[in-house]
């Protein structure tokens, strides 16, 4: 908790919010961005409120974007409303909105699902669409999310297709293995194909690991079954 307070104080000093009139150095936005990122590690009210203040008052788009992402990491339920507003904030290359959808992924709140899917629509800019597509990994257990990712694998924007592949890779969901293999065989963009090949390799490894774990459990249960049967036979012999 003390570290969270120190970070908040550092941010306020850098921006002059702590009563200082000292001019910030040219690198101060980088410092404030680092502080905003670090505050996301603290699951306490003071850190959450500091991030809300940064998102509202910070002059730098990039620092505000970092604050939006960190808000999601705090996992405070109230962060949902803050991020809901942030996804509609205008900024260069949708920096704030893109970070906000990543924050919605970190939040792990099912209320975010429909919004994330909606932000992958072609009516939004490519950077926001890509960020939203990649953020869908956090809700991969949802049928609508899996269906939307399948659609995005055929999107007209190569970056969105790559983002969908990255979401699948991050989820480790082997149900997408055939679909990813299809991308390897059919996509016309080498960047997408290379990404798909890597994702297929990793999903195959996940599948092999899962098979190995199941086999180990089966062997363990078989051994336990043999032991129990042996004990039953011994007990029967004693009762004769």
- Is it the case that residue 15 has pLDDT exceeding 60? no
CA-CA distance, 27 to 16, in Å (whole number)? 14
| Digit-coded pLDDT (tens) for 35-72 | 999 999 998 999 999 999 999 999 999 999 999 999 99
With both helix axes pointing from N to C terminus, report the angle between 95-107 and 61-74 in degrees, rounded to the nearest 10: 10
Domain boundaries, the chain: 1-106
Cα–Cα distance, 71 to 112 (Å, whole number):
14
Per-residue pLDDT of 82-130, as tens digits, reads: 999 999 999 999 999 999 999 999 999 999 999 999 999 999 999 999 9
What does the pLDDT read at residue 5?
Answer: 52
- Report CA-CA distances (Å) from 158 to 35, 53, 150, 163, 202: 33, 36, 14, 9, 21
Phi, psi of 11 (to 5 degrees): -60, -45
- Residues 129-151 have pLDDT tens digits of 999 999 999 999 999 999 999 99
Max avg pLDDT among 154-158, 205-209, 213-217: 154-158
| pLDDT for the residue 145 | 98
**Percent of the chain whose pLDDT exceeds 70:** 88
Distance CA 52, CA 223 (A): 56
Which residue do the tokens 């293999």 mark?
Answer: 181
Residue corresponding to tokens 């029967």: 236
Query: Is 193:157 a contact under the CB 8 Å cutoff?
Result: no
């Amino acid at each position: 908790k003390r570290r969270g307070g120190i970070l908040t104080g550092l941010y306020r000093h850098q921006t002059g919010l702590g009563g200082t009139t000292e001019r910030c150095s040219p690198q101060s936005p980088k410092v404030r961005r680092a502080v905003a990122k670090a505050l996301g590690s603290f699951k306490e009210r003071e850190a959450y409120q500091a991030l809300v203040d940064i998102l509202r008052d910070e002059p730098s788009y990039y620092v505000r974007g970092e604050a939006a992402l960190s808000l999601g990491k705090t996992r405070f339920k109230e962060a949902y409303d803050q991020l809901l507003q942030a996804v509609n904030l205008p900024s260069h290359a949708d920096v704030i909105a893109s970070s906000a959808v990543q924050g919605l992924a970190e939040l792990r709140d099912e209320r975010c699902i429909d919004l994330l899917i909606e932000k992958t629509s072609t009516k939004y800019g490519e950077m926001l669409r890509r960020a939203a597509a990649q953020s869908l990994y956090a809700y991969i257990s949802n049928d609508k999310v899996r269906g939307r990712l399948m659609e995005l694998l055929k999107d007209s924007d190569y970056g969105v297709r790559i983002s969908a592949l990255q979401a699948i890779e991050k989820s480790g969901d082997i149900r997408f293995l055939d679909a990813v293999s299809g991308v390897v065989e059919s996509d016309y963009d080498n960047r997408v194909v290379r990404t798909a090949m890597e994702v297929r390799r990793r999903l195959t490894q996940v599948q092999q690991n899962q098979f190995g774990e199941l086999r180990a459990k089966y062997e363990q249960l078989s051994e336990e079954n043999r032991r129990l049967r042996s004990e039953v036979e011994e007990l029967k012999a004693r009762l004769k």
